[in-house]
Amino acid sequence: MKMNYPTTALSARPSALASTLYIWLFTNVGGTAQLVASFGLDEPADLKVPLLIGLVAALFSLAAVPLAVPVFALAQRACTSWRCRFTALAGVLLAYAIANALLLYALPLGPPASLLGLTWPYLAAALLAVAWLYRPRPAIGRLNRPAPLLSAWQHRASKATPAY
């Protein structure tokens, strides 16, 4: 009697909360790294400024994570190739527009062009994070055969015991 043991398979997508946190993390790390690189090339002595901007951006954007979870849950429910990516990208663009509008309203940063100079690296990092997280993947499912190591063990065990 041959027994088939299920192999372990990776889940196709992380949960909506995990997706939101991945995008939040990659956006803040990537945006801050881009700011550090651009400030470092112009003024190497002012590297503390982009790090402080990144810290403030991370803290403020962390408050918006619970608002973004439903968007990524919807993206995962509607996940059929382009619809999934489009929903996630639309959510990121909407969050970016709302965040910039709130920053312009709440903080006296001057013209919108000066704000966009500080926030475009975060948008670029968010778009890259969404493109990476919602990239097309091959279908991963459970195999109908035992795991290779287990199957090798079964062959040895069947040789050791006589079959009746």
Distance CA 164, CA 156 (A): 17
Count of domains in the chain?
1
Question: Is a pLDDT exceeding 80 seen at residue 140?
Answer: no
Ranking 79-88, 133-142, 155-164 by mean pLDDT, the lowest is 155-164
156 lies in some domain = no
86 lies in some domain = yes
Q: What residue numbers bound the domain in which 60 lies? A: 16-138
99 lies in some domain = yes
69-121 tens-digit pLDDT:
888 888 777 666 677 788 888 888 988 888 888 888 877 767 777 778 888 88
Mean pLDDT of 126-154: 68
93 lies in some domain = yes
pLDDT at 136: 75
46 lies in some domain = yes
Question: Is a pLDDT exceeding 70 seen at residue 144?
Answer: no
Say if CB 6 and CB 142 are below 8 A apart: yes
154 lies in some domain = no
For residues 138 and 31, the model is more confident at 31
78 lies in some domain = yes
Tell me the DSSP string of 55-86: HHHHHHHHTTHHHHHHHHHHHHHT-STHHHHH
Q: What percent of the chain is modeled with pLDDT above 90?
A: 7
Mean pLDDT of 2-27: 70
9 lies in some domain = no
Ranking 31-40, 59-68, 106-115 by mean pLDDT, the lowest is 106-115
